[in-house]
Structure 1
Amino acid sequence: MKTRSGIAVLVVAMLAVQAAADISCPDVLNDLSPCLPFLQGNAPLPSDQCCGGVRALYAAADTRPARQGTCRCLKAAYLQVHAQLPAAQALPGDCGVPISYKITPDIDCDK
C-alpha cells in the first residue's frame, strides 16, 4: 500500500500524466507496482522493471487530460501506500524520465 502512494505521488508529480479515457488508474498502478520496494525504502535503487513501467506510463500520458488523470491517480495512491517522498521525487530522474516540476503530495493536478 505504501508503494502505491509513493508511486502515485511520484508518477503524479513526475509524470503528472493520465487520461481517463486512455489510461485507467489500475493501469497506472500496475505500471508502477514494481516500484513499491524502492518507494517504500526497501530497495536502494528502482528495478529495471520499475523504470520500464515509469517510462511506459510517461509515454502513454501524452495529453493534458491523460497527465491530469495520472496525477490524480498517483496522488490518491500516494496517500494509501505511504511512500517515502524523497524516493518518489528521485524516481523519475533515476529512471531517466525528465520532468519540469517537483513531486509533492499536494501537487495541483489541474496545472
Structure 2
Amino acid sequence: MFGFMRAAPAADYSDIMPRIAAGEITLVDVREPDELSITGRAKDAINIPLMRLQMMADPRHPDCHPGLAPEKPVALYCASGARSAQGKMLLERLGYSEVMNLGGLHDWARAGGSLER
C-alpha cells in the first residue's frame, strides 16, 4: 500500500558520483531548508523542497529552476529516501527522462560524497 515509502535500492554511486561532478547529472536535495541548516547538504546540490518540486521542475511554470530540464538526468536525495522516491515519481510524470533516487544524505556521505554547510 505504501510502497513509495520503502527505502531506495542501493544506487551505483561509483557511476553516479563522477557524472554529478562532471555536471552531467543535477543533484537535488528535496529536504526542507531547516534540515539543511542542521545536517548540511551534499556539495553542489540544489535545494528544492519536495513540496515545491512540482512547480520548480515544470518547464512551463514561471518558477522553474534554471538548473532543471527534462532532458538532463537528475539525482534526488532526502533524509531517508522516502521523499526522494516521491520526487522521482513526480519528475517522471513531468517527463524527465532519467531520474535516480539516491536515498538519504547518509547514503551520499557513506559513498564518499562531500558535504557542505
> Which of the five TM-score ranges fits, normalised by the shorter chain?
0.3 to 0.5
TM-score, L = length of structure 2: 0.32
| Structure (1 or 2) with the greater strand fraction | 2
| Structure (1 or 2) with the greater helix fraction | 1
TM-score, L = length of structure 1: 0.34
Higher normalized contact order (CA 8 Å, seq sep 6+, divided by chain length): 1
Task: Please say which structure displays the higher CA radius of gyration.
Answer: 2
